[in-house]
Chain A
Amino acid sequence: MAPFELVVPSTVEEAMAALRTSGPGGASALAGGTDLLNDLDDGRARPQRVVSLRRLPWRTLDWTGGQLTVGSTLPLRALEQDPEVARRFPGLVQAVRAVGSVALRHCATLGGNVVRSAPASDLVPVLLSLDAEVDLVGPRGDRRVPLDRFIRSSRRVDLAEGELVRSIRFPEARPSSYLWQRVRPANDISQVAVALAFSPTGHAWRVAVGGVPPRPVLLPGPARLLGSGAPGPEVVRRAAALAGEEAPFVTDRRASEEYRRRTVSALVARAVAAVLETPEFPR
């Protein structure tokens, strides 16, 4: 690993100042490090300075009514072990448990996953289905961006110099489900992933898929087909088939396009059934 200077600020102001360095390679923010350390090791990232976020007061989980705000540096393991999160956001907890391994999730964070924006992120699809928003702090003030806009492409996000993700906000609890297909259950990348959620206030479904380049996406067509409540079997079948047609899958070294199209239809049908079975689904 090439040398760098590690700074560990205690306040947000110090962190933003530390990120503004004019040196070669600039500065990288370090949350859990489970992704960044690999880039530092193989030279894909060569910052002069690494700014650790571990002392910032962002390892938080806050409820305001039905809204959930997750601090960006809260370890994923803490999120998955919260019983209220599991009850109100089942899809979120299923997706978190798909990330790496237990040991990895003791370090990995929601903020890190979103900012690093790996194309095969297991968290981005479910965050899309929950209409998650990203709360940012920066030298020019705070702002809030829908996750769908924050993620630009593979490993590209709408983050200005000196800006940091403070938290991820979930505007409402939603019956939801996350299902994936991959070779190994742990420490593997999903070939296909499906996140489904039902908005009890908007009476609308959200369907998101992962395993598509360059980033996970929402599929509005199948979501519309599923309607405004509990769909019947024929509707589910048609929505699942449409997801197989609409999702922008390609063939790569992990799976063929055809495999992905057939798999995503099966996963969508199963995920609808899982959402309908949650006790929180409105009847």
Chain B
Amino acid sequence: MTRTPSRLQVNGRAVELPGLPDEERLLDTLRWRLGMKGTKEGCRSGACGACTVLVDGESTLSCLTLTREVEGRAVTTIEIGPEDPVVARVRSAFAVAGALQCGYCTPGFVMSLAGLLRERGAAASREELLEALGGNLCRCTGYASILRAVDRLRSEGP
């Protein structure tokens, strides 16, 4: 039970977090300690999906995750570059399909889809992709174009 210094890997980069309070959430660490504002704060209670990131490749709600609970693990956010081809591909599908209105929910949608594609690969069905988006809300109700982005991902193949 010794206190280890808090280290995460964020988008492939090792990050040290001296003085990290035990009660800090991953969402706040990303936005306010690391200045990475791509991950959005919506409901702050796990109901909207805006804060979705990947932890070791799995979609995770950063508002319901204590940063210390993911020490030593790999966190991927919407800011990751082309070195993550899955996130890059989903981002590009959203851009081409014009799948956003105000854009606030977009990072969460992209990371939820990227997580499902990491999990299921080319085998991912349309139903599975839509289930993976079940926890993401778009308050602009721009779902039609988001579904077009999903279909673009499917038709492009892996």
Q: For A4, A30, A103, which residue has the most chain B Cβ atoms within 10 angstroms?
A: A103
Contact with B along A181-192 (1 / 0, CB 8 A): 000011100000
Complex alpha-carbon distance, A162 and B116, angstroms: 37
Q: Is A100 an interface residue (CB 8 A)?
A: yes
Residues of A1-44 whose CB lies within 8 A of B = 1-10, 14, 18, 30, 33-34, 37-38, 40-41
Q: For B55, B68, B112, B135, which residue has the most chain A Cβ atoms within 10 angstroms?
A: B135
- Secondary structure dominating the interface of B: mixed
Binding-face segment, B59-67, B98-106, B145-153: B59-67
Give the number of residues in B that approach A within 8 Å (Cβ atoms).
31
B131 CB → nearest A CB, Å: 6
A182 CB → nearest B CB, Å: 12
Given the interface pairs A8-B1, A106-B58, the reply to whether A186 lies near B45 with Cβ below 8 Å is no
Q: Is A56 an interface residue (CB 8 A)?
A: no
Complex alpha-carbon distance, A18 and B65, angstroms: 21
- Contact yes or no, B135 A102, CB < 8 A: yes
Give the residue of A50, A101, A106 whose beta carbon is less than 8 angstroms from that of B22. A50
Complex alpha-carbon distance, A4 and B25, angstroms: 13
Given the interface pairs A186-B135, A187-B47, the reply to whether A102 lies near B22 with Cβ below 8 Å is no
Q: Is B156 an interface residue (CB 8 A)?
A: no
Q: Is A54 an interface residue (CB 8 A)?
A: yes
- Contact yes or no, B131 A102, CB < 8 A: yes
Residues of A contacting B23 in the complex (Cβ-Cβ under 8 angstroms): 1-4, 6, 40
Give the residue of B48, B66, B112 whose beta carbon is less than 8 angstroms from that of A102. B112
Residues of A contacting B66 in the complex (Cβ-Cβ under 8 angstroms): 6, 30, 33, 37, 50, 52
- Contact yes or no, B1 A9, CB < 8 A: yes
Residues of B18-52 whose CB lies within 8 A of A = 21-23, 25, 44-49, 52
Q: Is A241 an interface residue (CB 8 A)?
A: no
Complex alpha-carbon distance, A207 and B65, angstroms: 36
Complex alpha-carbon distance, A30 and B65, angstroms: 11
Complex alpha-carbon distance, A52 and B65, angstroms: 12
Residue of B nearest to A2 (CB): B23
Q: For A5, A30, A33, A54, which residue has the most chain B Cβ atoms within 10 angstroms?
A: A33
Residue of A nearest to B131 (CB): A102
B5 CB → nearest A CB, Å: 14
**A positions within 8 Å CB-CB of B:** 1-10, 14, 18, 30, 33-34, 37-38, 40-41, 50, 52, 54, 77, 97, 100-104, 106-107, 185-187
**B positions within 8 Å CB-CB of A:** 1, 21-23, 25, 44-49, 52, 55, 58-61, 63-66, 68-69, 112, 115-116, 131-132, 134-136
Kindly list the 6 A-B residue pairs having the minimum CB-CB distance in the complex, ordered from nearest.
Answer: A101-B135, A186-B134, A6-B22, A103-B59, A106-B58, A1-B23
